[in-house]
Structure 1
Amino acid sequence: MNIALEARGLTKEFKGFVAVKDVDLTVERGSIHALIGPNGAGKTTCFNLLTKFLQPTRGTIIYEGRDITKLAPAEIAQLGMVRSFQISAVFPDLSVLQNVRVAVQRKRGESFDFWRSERKLSRFDDEARRHIDEVGLADFLHHRAVELPYGRKRALEIAATLALNPDMLLLDEPMAGMAQADVERISALIRRVAQNRTVLMVEHNLSVVASLSDRITVLARGEILAEGDYATVSRAPAVIDAYIGAGYE
């Protein structure tokens, strides 16, 4: 198996409370891997550990054969592992084009680009447009981000993430708060952008997980309950008990 991301014995304690305990996780290169579980399962904490927004109490994180356990989030992004967040992270008063162009500029690492004239920054427009086309927002090129419907804002966030040319995309609840039409649109988008990338996502919508994921890891109380394809994990007694106990159908 070609492994993109691996965690060994990943543990996070908060003043005696163990939020994530001895998690061993392997994400295969080129796959869509979902991390699911009832509320309070430790999904977000695990996600923040993998992306280094939290430092693990113990354990090791390996990305593309390199130990990244002690690296900062920005260093990990530079290696090609880029994440999105649950909360909208676009610049509301910038246009769709300008939002994605900021990401293109950031990839270059030239901080002074932000102070240059619009005319000089326009050299980034072609690349920005390619990513905007990729997520189906070509018709909204000059709309301000604040004017976009929620689902298209999420598509804009993915476009900005893609502008960093990630090899691995980590999506934190990409369907949260969406209407069904938006869920279908973003699901199709994730499937499309995953054709040449690895995707790890935290997601509550089990129908999305079932339709998109190659492999699923189920967490409960900070520990792995089950792992496998949807058919396997959905039949696991421990998983059924965890979801019924949390009020899921």
Structure 2
Amino acid sequence: MTDVPHDDEPRVVLSARGLGKDFSGFTAVNNVNLDVHHARIHALIGPNGAGKTTVFNLLTKFLQPTRGQITLLGTDITKMKPDAVARMGLVRSFQISAVFPHLTVLENVRVALQRPAELHVQFWRSLGALDVLNGRAEVLIDELGLTPWRDVRAADLSYGRKRVLEIATTLALDPQVLLLDEPMAGMGHEDVHTVAEIIREVARHRAVLMVEHNLSVVADICHHVTVLQRGEILAEGDYATVAADPRVRTAYMGTEA
């Protein structure tokens, strides 16, 4: 396991206090407090049904909380809509790849760059107008190791490379906080290592909050871990701390042994 550095605590960029969500009398999330820090990787883990995806949906405003407050970069975003939150710098990837399969790697990244360049609203401009985005797109593609696949259609990429491309398209929005939903799901060992290193590099300049089932990856790259069970926080701290907690072992394996 690679040691994760613990230097001076950076600033909090995304925060939740007393976060709760009820569905027709069923409490899916209850009293969750969360602080996500700049230039840190924060993992949200827990057994199936623990409420991880619901918390993600609440933070990104795909769901409105029943209780609690969410703050992004010092601004209360509790009642904001998802598009407004995204424009503030909170960007999410999904477990299912969301790239355009019939576009090349370069074309996918150029499409993603249209919003920060405000070309997405200039529908009267020719396709050639997107050429102004090539420089930034090339930089992103190179940073994520996708240059050899620059002109390859997304449909023809390996599963792991599609996930890397998805990260590239989210980075095109220049997020302050990047939320990754099971980025390693379905990957082989080699792809897992590649994507883990990319996430580590991405987090040098922004906060990353990730839901992830691969605990080896969590142990290797994450600075802080929050464990959920039945919609509530069971334990939190660095990986060594939560892994040593008998309540966490019970939650995952059904026995303290």
TM-score band w.r.t. shorter chain = over 0.9
1:217 shift after superposition:
0.2
- Is 1:132 aligned to 2:124, yes or no? no
Distance 1:154 1:46 in 2: 22
1:110 to 105, 114, 119: 119
Shift of 1:214: 0.3
Contact 2:50 2:230 in 1 (8 A): yes
1:72 matched residue in structure 2: 81
Q: Is the 8 A contact 1:105 1:113 kept in 2?
A: no
Q: Quote the offset at 1:200 in angstroms.
A: 0.4
Partner-residue secondary structure (3-state), 2:130: helix
- Alpha-carbon distance in structure 2 between the residues aligned to 1:114 and 1:177: 37
Task: Tell me if 1:207 matches 2:216.
Answer: yes
Contact 2:38/2:205 (8 A) holds in 1: no
CA distance in 2, matches of 1:112, 1:17: 41
Paired residue for 2:34, among 19, 25, 29?
Answer: 25
Which runs of 5 or more structure 1 residues have no equivalent in the other structure? none
Shift of 1:113: 4.1
The 5 Å alignment of 1:53-72 reads 53-72=62-81
**What residue in structure 1 maps to residue 233 of structure 2?**
224
Aligned-partner residue type, residue 64 of structure 1: L
Q: How many angstroms apart in 2 are the aligned matches of 1:118 and 1:42?
A: 43
TM-score normalized with structure 1 length:
0.96
Q: Are 2:47 and 1:43 aligned?
A: no
In structure 1, distance between residues paired with 2:174 and 2:37: 19
Aligned: 1:151 with 2:160: yes
The structural deviation recorded for 1:77 is 1.0
- 1:115 deviates by 5.2
Give 1:29 shift: 1.9
Does residue 119 of structure 1 match 2:128? yes
**Structure 1 residue 120: Cα displacement:** 2.1
Give the structure 2 partner of residue 85 of structure 1.
Answer: 94
CA distance in 1, matches of 2:219, 2:105: 31
Letter in 1 for 2:167: I
- Hey, what does 2:207 align to over in structure 1? 198
In the TM superposition, 1:161-176 aligns within 5 A as 161-176=170-185
Change beyond 3 A, Cα 1:173–1:97? same
> Partner of 2:203: helix, strand, or coil?
helix
Distance 1:153 1:28 in 2: 27
Q: Is the 8 A contact 1:187 1:208 kept in 2?
A: yes
| Aligned length in residues | 247
Indicate how the Cα distance of structure 1 residues 115 and 204 shifts in structure 2: closer, same or farther if over 3 A, else same. Answer: farther
What is the root-mean-square deviation of aligned Cα atoms in Å?
A: 1.4
Point out where structure 2 has 5 or more consecutive residues left out of the alignment. Answer: 1-8
TM-score norm. by structure 2 comes to 0.93
